[in-house]
Structure 1
Amino acid sequence: MSYLDEFLLIAISHFFAVASPGPDFALVLKQSIQKGRNNALVTSAGIATGILVHVSYCVLGVAIVISQSPTLFAVLKYLAAAYLAYIGVMALRSKPASHQSEQVLAQTESESMVKAFSRGFLVNALNPKATLFFLSLFTLVISVDTPILIQAGYGMYMAVATLVWFSFLSLVLSREKVRAFFLKAGHWFDRGIGVVLIALAVRVVLV
């Protein structure tokens, strides 16, 4: 109970951070519409796992090194921007979908699960916005006297809460009627998401 106030502050801060539009949301939206529910859920799991990377270096004290090293943080920013730009360019190159059987589509989605997970993981793990958030959280909100196990518990909560949030979005956005609405635009929708991702990449570099 002595850490309840600290936990509530973390939970509220995390909710607003995870609910704000960003690379994670854009990616889940794209996966939900383009690849379907299963891929979107796996991507959400990748995003949630990526949070554990941020929690790990914060708990281990590497966050202090990152916060004191502008060069290291700049490298992280450019890596994140490059990856977002890469996904955006791939989306911009999207062509009108050809007619494929349900069996082929199901096979394609099944084979891309590892790729879907890694895409979600990398987008979150390389996200400098997430890095800044966790740096602030573990240096300003969480007391230095808070035991490491308690801090790790905070991290697990945020990973699970992230998984629940993006899984919820995946279930909503991948509904048949929602997908049908977006898929009417077909490749134009993919290109629109590509523009958003490239814009996010530019923003990452400039911020």
Structure 2
Amino acid sequence: MYWTEFLTVALVHLLAVASPGPDFAVVVRESVTRGQRSGTWMAMGVGSGILVHVGYSLLGIGLIVSQSIVLFNLFKWLAAGYLFWLGFQALRAKPMPAAASVVDGEAMEPRSARRAFTVGFITNGLNPKATLFFLSLFTVVIDPHTPLAVQAGYGVYLAFATALWFSVVAWLFSRARVRAGFARMGHWFDRVTGVVLVGLGIRLAASELT
């Protein structure tokens, strides 16, 4: 009965998640510099962050935030500040020591699973663009008469699909050949990523509620 709606939700989400943004930038950087394990845990954090957006969309809080300039701006500046922090951390990257081994692709020590998960979770959870995306999804694409349990099921799928997508990204960018190539210019890759994150932060800070 709800297959058509579900497939529409899945397609819209696929197009959105495949678009490069803060989530993509941090997962790629983590996977290249610290390996698949750290990248995968960060992907899981990003996927879990989706549940935050789903939760307040189901509760109607997203509508309140989207209609309140004060709340939206508060949320926006928190997110922009976090992106600035991530970006400046990346910009401070230094060249690897000449003795650093790239045979096994180990450019840096992996983060703890908890730390990697937390960074991914916060990066996605503090994204106000995701707030507006999920608000649109749950008010325009999903019929308001769809049972809450079914809508929650959609949310679980979206979280799982997001985590799976970024786990694939982590796997791709943690391959030995890719990491060995990046290891030779890793600090420049970090700095480019830092510029991207700071740029995203500036763009977010300059955005307005529409």
Aligned residue runs from structure 1 range 127-142, under 5 A = 127-142=127-142
Is the counterpart of residue 30 in structure 1 residue 29 in structure 2?
A: yes
Write the distance in 1 (CA, Å) between the matches of 2:80 and 2:156: 27
Give aligned-pair identity as a percent: 50
Aligned residue runs from structure 1 range 152-191, under 5 A = 152-191=152-191
Task: List gaps (5 residues or longer) in structure 2.
Answer: none
Query: Is the 8 Å Cα contact of residues 96 and 183 (structure 2) preserved in structure 1?
Result: no
String of CA shifts for 1:143-196, please: whole Å, max 9, x gaps. Answer: 111111001000000001111111111111100001111111021111111011
Q: Once superposed, what is the RMSD of the aligned Cα atoms?
A: 1.7
User: Could you say what secondary structure the match of 1:49 adopts?
Assistant: helix
String of CA shifts for 1:43-65, please: whole Å, max 9, x gaps. Answer: 00000000000000011121221
2:146 corresponding residue in structure 1: 146
Divergent runs of 4+, >6 A: none
Residue identity opposite 1:139 in structure 2: T
Shift of 1:8: 1.0
Task: List gaps (5 residues or longer) in structure 1.
Answer: none
Shift of 1:95: 1.2
2:72 corresponding residue in structure 1: 73
What is the TM-score when the length of structure 1 is the normalising length? 0.93
1:62 corresponding residue in structure 2: 61
String of CA shifts for 1:90-140, please: whole Å, max 9, x gaps. Answer: 1111112234689xx69942x532111110000000011211110100111
Is the counterpart of residue 124 in structure 1 residue 110 in structure 2?
A: no
Distance verdict in 2 for CA 1:177–1:52, change over 3 Å: same
Aligned residue runs from structure 1 range 191-206, under 5 A = 191-206=191-206
Query: Is the 8 Å Cα contact of residues 54 and 155 (structure 2) preserved in structure 1?
Result: yes
Matched pairs, number: 203
What is the TM-score when the length of structure 2 is the normalising length? 0.92
1:16 corresponding residue in structure 2: 15
Distance verdict in 2 for CA 1:175–1:106, change over 3 Å: closer
Write the distance in 2 (CA, Å) between the matches of 1:32 and 1:165: 13
Aligned residue runs from structure 1 range 79-90, under 5 A = 79-90=78-89
